[in-house]
Amino acid sequence: MTDTSPPADASERAFFGRRKGKRLRGLQEQRLSDLLPRLRVDPPADGRPLDPATLFPGLARGPSEVWLEIGFGGGEHLAAQAAAHPEIGIIGAEPFVNGVAKLLRAVDERALRNVRIRDEDVSPLLAALPDASLARVYLLYPDPWPKRRQRKRRFVSDESLAEIARVLRPGGLFRFASDIDDYVGWTLVRTARCPHLRWTARTAADWTQPYPGWPGTRYEAKAIAAGRRPTYLEFARVAPG
C-alpha cells in the first residue's frame, strides 16, 4: 500500500501520498537508473492510444493477455503473479519510489520478462489504453484516506470505475481488496452505480476468502496481525448489450 502522508503541494484529487521514504541503497539506485528506464510505461506524447500488447517484446508470441495492478506497494503480489503466469503481460503502477525499487529487485533476481512499470500517476495511462484492452485490473489495499475531508482523494470514484470498465474486455475482472470496512462499503456503493461492472459474489465466502492463487502481501499480514479483517471484492465487466 502506498504511503498516505500527503505532500504539501498535493492536488486535492491526488490519490497517493509521499513519493519517497527511506534512503535507497546502492543497488536499488542502480536498478532505478538502469533497469527502470527499460521497463517504464508512459502514455504516448502525441495522444495516440497505447496498445499494451506491444509493451512486452520479451514474450516471443506476445502476451496472451494483459493485466494492470494499480498501486502495487512493495510488488509482492505483482511479482508472484508474473512468475506464476509468464505468458501474461503485467503492468504495475506505483508512484512510491521505494515500492518501485522493491519490485525492480524481484524483476531482476527472478528474471521476470513480463513486467512493465508506470512510476507516476496511473490516470493518464488508463486514459491512453484502448477500450477492452485488459483482462484484469487489481486495486489492492489502496490508501484509505480515512478522514472525511480526504475521501475525495480515494482512487475509487465513479469516474475511475468508468475508466476501469472501459479498458476491461467483456468478462474481464476488477479485483479490489481492503482491510478498511468504510472503503469496502464506499467501493460497493460506487460499483453498484457502474452499469458496466457486476459483483461476482454469491456467498459470504466469496468476499472473505482471498482470490485463487493469492500470494498475500506484507501489508495484509500487518492488517491481520492488528485484528483487521480483509475483504476481497471481484467485479466482472458486463458485455455490451
Query: Is 108 an annotated catalytic residue?
Result: no
Measured distance CA(4)–CA(113) in Å, rounded: 30
Nearest to 193 by CA among 157, 224, 169, 153: 157
Spatial separation of the C-alpha atoms in residues 32 and 171, rounded to whole Å: 36
Polymer length in residues for the chain = 241
Among the options 3, 42, 108, 143, which is catalytic? 143
Residue 80 is inside which H or E element, if any? helix 76-84
Residue type (1 letter), 32:
L
How far apart, in whole angstroms, are the C-alpha atoms of residue 140 and residue 113?
A: 23
DSSP 86: T
Q: Cα Rg for the chain, rounded, in angstroms?
A: 17
Please list, in sequence order, all residues whose beta carbon lies within 8 angstroms of the beta carbon of residue 145, skipping any fewer than 6 positions away.
4, 15, 151, 153, 154
Which candidate, 166, 75, 56, 70, places its Cα nearest to that of 122? 70
Q: How far is CA 108 from the centre of its chain?
A: 20
The rounded distance, in Å, linking the Cα atoms of 208 and 205 is 5
Q: Which of 136, 142, 144 is nearest to 200 (CA)?
A: 136
Catalytic residues: 143
